Chain A
Amino acid sequence: MADFTPIPKNIEESNRSVRVFVSYGKDAWNRLKKNKVAVASLVFIIFVILFGFAGSVFFPNYTKQNLLNTFAPPGSPGAPLGTDELGRDLLSRLVRGTKISISIGLTVATINIIIGSVYGGIAGYFGGAADMIMMRIVDIVISIPEMIILILLLTIISKGMPTLILALCLTGWTGTARLVRGQVLQLREQEYILSARVLGAGKFFIILRHLLPNAIDPIIVRFAMSIPGVIFAEAFLSYIGLGVSIPDASWGNLAQVGSNQFPNYLWLFFMPATLFSLTMLAFNLLGDGLRDALDPKQRW
Chain B
Amino acid sequence: MSNINSNTDVNHSNPLLEVRSLKKYFKVGRRQFLKAVDGITFHIYQGETFGLVGESGCGKSTTGRAIARLYSLTGGEILYDGMDISKFKGKAATRYAFDVQMVFQDPYASLDPRMTVESIVAEGMKIHRMYNSEQTRAKVYELLEKVGLNKEHAARFPHEFSGGQRQRIGIARALAVNPKFLVCDEPVSALDVSIQAQIINLLRDLQREFNLTYLFIAHDLSLVKYLSDRIGVMYLGSLLEVAPAEELYKNPLHPYTRALLSAIPVPDPAEESERTRILLQGDVQSPINTPEQCKFYSRCKYAEARCRERIPPLVETTEGHWIACALNKELNTDAYAI
B166 to chain A, nearest CB (A): 11
Number of B interface residues at 8 Å Cβ cutoff, please give it.
37
| Across-interface contacts of B93 in A (CB, < 8 A) | 200
Whether A191 contacts B114 by the Cβ 8 Å rule is: no
Whether B157 contacts A191 by the Cβ 8 Å rule is: no
Given known A-B contacts A195-B173, A199-B124, A214-B114, A19 and B156 have beta carbons under 8 A apart: yes
B111 interface hit (Cβ, 8 Å): yes
- Mask of B15-51 contacts with A, CB within 8 angstroms, 1/0: 0000000000000000000000000000000000000
Q: Out of A19, A192, A214, which one reaches B110, CB within 8 Å?
A: A192
Whether A195 contacts B102 by the Cβ 8 Å rule is: yes
Whether A192 contacts B157 by the Cβ 8 Å rule is: no
Q: Out of A22, A194, A200, which one reaches B127, CB within 8 Å?
A: A200
A296 interface hit (Cβ, 8 Å): yes
B109 interface hit (Cβ, 8 Å): yes
Question: Helix, strand, loop or mixed for chain A's interface?
Answer: helix
B329 interface hit (Cβ, 8 Å): no
| Across-interface contacts of B124 in A (CB, < 8 A) | 199-200
A24 to B94, CA, bound (A): 30
B212 to chain A, nearest CB (A): 15
B97 interface hit (Cβ, 8 Å): yes
A297 interface hit (Cβ, 8 Å): yes
A22 to B68, CA, bound (A): 34
Whether B159 contacts A299 by the Cβ 8 Å rule is: yes
| Across-interface contacts of A17 in B (CB, < 8 A) | 152
Whether A200 contacts B110 by the Cβ 8 Å rule is: no
Chain B, residue nearest A191 (CB):
B110
A214 to B113, CA, bound (A): 8
A156 to chain B, nearest CB (A): 44
B70 interface hit (Cβ, 8 Å): yes
A205 to B174, CA, bound (A): 18
A17 to B155, CA, bound (A): 11
B73 to chain A, nearest CB (A): 16
A16 interface hit (Cβ, 8 Å): yes
A297 to B108, CA, bound (A): 13
Report, as a range, how many residues of chain A touch the other chain.
Answer: 20 to 34
Given known A-B contacts A191-B109, A213-B114, A297-B159, A199 and B70 have beta carbons under 8 A apart: no
A98 to B156, CA, bound (A): 44
Which residues 188-215 in A have Cβ within 8 Å of B in the complex?
Answer: 190-192, 194-201, 205, 209-210, 213-214
Given known A-B contacts A190-B109, A210-B112, A198 and B155 have beta carbons under 8 A apart: no
Q: Out of B101, B114, B116, B160, which one reaches A198, CB within 8 Å?
A: B101
Most chain A beta carbons < 10 A, residue from B98, B112, B116 = B112
A294 to chain B, nearest CB (A): 10
Which residues 118-135 in B have Cβ within 8 Å of A in the complex?
Answer: 120, 123-124, 127-128
Whether B127 contacts A199 by the Cβ 8 Å rule is: yes
Given known A-B contacts A17-B152, A199-B177, A297-B159, A214 and B97 have beta carbons under 8 A apart: no
Most chain A beta carbons < 10 A, residue from B93, B113, B116, B152 = B113
Which residues 62-81 in A have Cβ within 8 Å of B in the complex?
Answer: none
A4 interface hit (Cβ, 8 Å): no
Given known A-B contacts A19-B155, A200-B127, A192 and B97 have beta carbons under 8 A apart: no
A28 to B280, CA, bound (A): 54
Q: Out of B104, B127, B156, which one reaches A201, CB within 8 Å?
A: B127
A21 interface hit (Cβ, 8 Å): yes
| Across-interface contacts of A196 in B (CB, < 8 A) | 123, 127
A132 to chain B, nearest CB (A): 14
Chain A, residue nearest B156 (CB):
A19
Whether B69 contacts A198 by the Cβ 8 Å rule is: yes
| Across-interface contacts of A21 in B (CB, < 8 A) | 116, 155
Whether A194 contacts B65 by the Cβ 8 Å rule is: yes
B213 interface hit (Cβ, 8 Å): no
B106 interface hit (Cβ, 8 Å): yes
Chain B, residue nearest A196 (CB):
B123
Chain B, residue nearest A199 (CB):
B124
B105 interface hit (Cβ, 8 Å): yes
| Across-interface contacts of A213 in B (CB, < 8 A) | 112, 114-115
B26 to chain A, nearest CB (A): 13
Which residues 20-71 in A have Cβ within 8 Å of B in the complex?
Answer: 20-22, 24
Chain B, residue nearest A192 (CB):
B112
| Across-interface contacts of A201 in B (CB, < 8 A) | 123, 127
B218 to chain A, nearest CB (A): 17
| Across-interface contacts of B65 in A (CB, < 8 A) | 194
| Across-interface contacts of B104 in A (CB, < 8 A) | 191, 194-195
A18 to chain B, nearest CB (A): 9
Q: Out of A198, A209, A296, A300, which one reaches B97, CB within 8 Å?
A: A198
27 contacts between A and B (CB under 8 A): A17-B152, A19-B152, A20-B155, A21-B116, A191-B109, A192-B110, A192-B111, A194-B102, A195-B102, A195-B104, A195-B110, A196-B123, A197-B70, A198-B68, A199-B97, A199-B127, A200-B97, A200-B98, A200-B124, A201-B123, A201-B127, A213-B112, A213-B114, A213-B115, A297-B159, A299-B157, A299-B159
Q: Which 10 A-B pairs have the closest CB atoms?
A: A200-B97, A191-B110, A21-B155, A199-B124, A192-B112, A191-B104, A213-B114, A191-B109, A17-B152, A198-B102
Residues on A lying within 8 angstroms of B by beta carbon are 16-17, 19-22, 24, 190-192, 194-201, 205, 209-210, 213-214, 296-297, 299-300
5 additional contacts (CB under 8 A) given A194-B65, A194-B110: A21-B155, A22-B155, A195-B170, A199-B127, A200-B97
